[in-house]
Amino acid sequence: MAHLLPGKWMCLMSSVALQKPQLKAILIEDMLSVRMLLRAVLTHLEIEVVGEAKTAAQGMEQFRELEPDIVFLDLGLPDTDGLDLLPTFKRERPFTCVVVLTAKNDQDTVNTASDLGADHFIAKPFTVKRIGLVVEQVMRSREASLSY
């Protein structure tokens, strides 16, 4: 068995990439332009977008199949209110972070989304910076929970 000098060991260790697992996201949003923007921002932030859905039914199917870490959920979907999906998301995968995206930014909607398990709320129209801040918060909280 070869022995490594301390300097050689450190060199070997520094060359090994200690990668954090990449977060997986799905986008449940009926507007293609919003999905495209979210995909571009998330990809830039090294979040893997594993699925996109334009209806609640498609979103639920992808949620169950793809087991995302983060769900970006529009409330104004063509087949149902996105709020209807929240209890199922939280029951089936309680550690999945749900980020609600909506033009309905009144206090009642915010409170209802929060009560049903939304982790973050982003009012439309949103900025790229706002998405980045939310993703940063999600990543920090995830790292903190994994360090226990």
Is 7 part of any domain? Answer: no
Whether 1 has a pLDDT exceeding 60, the answer reads: no
pLDDT in tens, 13-66: 333 344 556 899 999 999 999 999 999 999 999 999 999 999 999 999 999 999
pLDDT in tens, 101-127: 999 889 999 999 999 999 999 999 999
Residue 89: CB atoms within 10 A of its CB come to 24
What's the pLDDT at 45?
92
Is 12 part of any domain? Answer: no
Is 2 part of any domain? Answer: no
What's the pLDDT at 143?
79
* Containing structural domain, residue 118: 21-146
Is 10 part of any domain? Answer: no
pTM, whole model, 2 decimals? 0.84
CA distances from 30 to 23, 78, 79, 114, 138 (A): 22, 7, 10, 22, 23
Mean pLDDT across the chain, nearest whole number?
Answer: 86
Classify 21 as helix, strand or coil.
coil
Is 121 part of any domain? Answer: yes
CA separation for the pair 73, 102 (Å, rounded):
8
What's the pLDDT at 11?
35
Is 55 part of any domain? Answer: yes
The CATH number given to whatever domain includes residue 43 is: 3.40.50.2300
Determine contact, residues 93/65, Cβ cutoff 8 Å: no
User: Mean pLDDT over residues 1-11, rounded?
Assistant: 40
Residue 43: CB atoms within 10 A of its CB come to 12
Is 16 part of any domain? Answer: no
What's the pLDDT at 50?
98
Burial string for 107-141 (b: 16+ CB within 10 Å, else e) reads eebbebbeebbbbbbbeeebeeeebeebbeebbee
Is 27 part of any domain? Answer: yes
What's the pLDDT at 148?
58
What's the pLDDT at 49?
98
Please state the domain count of the chain. 1
